Amino acid sequence: MIRTCDSAEDIATGTMISDCEVSDFKGGYCTAIGIAGNGSGSLGKVSGTVQNCRVKFPPKVSGDFFAAYGSGGSNGILYENNISWGANKGFNNDYQTGEKIALRGNLFLDVTDAGSRGAVLLASHNSVLEGNIFSLIGTGTGGGGVAAVAIGGMNSTNWSGAENWILQGNLIFTAGTAPAGISFAASGDKPLDCVFQDNRMSGVTSNDGLPNPDTFNHWYNNTDFSGNNNLPSISSLQITNRWDSSKNGPP
């Protein structure tokens, strides 16, 4: 992982990681590919691009935490056209406040085993998760289960919370048992002023921990083809979140 020094006065910008592959894993707590900085004030807010990379992990060993891609304390990071297989966290952002993260066109495949997430969004603002594909093969919802996306607000002891994220045009499908599509983190506050729009889900059993109605965020035209969406109630100003096979057809 590329990381700027926590006490550095210089800001690293324009970092490029491209066409890299990680496929060997010794165990423990790690992030395979990522760019991170301090995130305190003007220190260490790095920028850059991670594109066309591949990360493949072996089957998860109980107690291990491994993320394929990660970021924290960043100010302008693009993750584009990357692939992960079998990661405990496909993308992880749970420390050091950052902003302007964009994840576009990535494949998060074989998200499996307890506590696994395709993407974890807990610590950045003004960012975008758009046009990604999540494949879930694990079992169960909630903190001990599997979800495509976990997003949460401030937790005073652990993370600063997600604000002003746009989650748009993502595809979530599953071959597992009872996974969640979108999950709000069980501890801490709810994410704030985020937009969930045009996301499509197939085979998920629920969307875990979402308030109903959700008075903190905005939901537009999300579809669960399995009919178990539990998507939040919405105001008359928002387009209906729905499941309607007669109009929408198969996923």
Among 117, 79, 118, CA closest to 98: 79
Quote the pLDDT of residue 43. 47
Buried b (16+ CB within 10 A) or exposed e, 145-164: bbbbbbbbbbbeeebbbbbb
Say which DSSP state 136 is in: E
Quote the pLDDT of residue 72. 81
Strand partners, 21: 54
Q: Which two tokens stand for residue 213?
A: 């109605």
The helix (run of H) or strand (run of E) holding residue 247 is helix 245-248
Quote the pLDDT of residue 248. 38
Rounded to two decimals, the pTM is 0.85
Q: What is the pLDDT along the chain (251 residues), one digit of tens a residue?
A: 666 555 555 567 788 999 999 988 777 778 899 888 765 544 456 888 999 999 998 766 555 678 899 988 788 899 999 999 988 889 998 877 788 899 999 999 988 766 788 999 988 889 999 999 999 876 655 445 688 898 887 765 566 778 899 999 999 988 766 678 888 876 567 888 899 999 998 877 777 777 777 778 888 888 877 765 556 654 433 444 544 444 333 33
C-alpha distances (whole Å) from 38 to each of 65, 95, 97 are 21, 9, 8
| Rounded distance between C-alpha atoms, residue 125 and residue 143, angstroms | 23
Among 135, 151, 126, 129, CA closest to 198: 129
Quote the pLDDT of residue 57. 82
> Cis peptide before 179, with omega less than 30 degrees from 0?
no
| Rounded distance between C-alpha atoms, residue 133 and residue 103, angstroms | 11
Quote the pLDDT of residue 243. 41
| Rounded distance between C-alpha atoms, residue 87 and residue 177, angstroms | 18
Find where tokens 């974890």 sit.
120
177 neighbors 139 (Cβ within 8 angstroms): yes
Quote the pLDDT of residue 74. 81
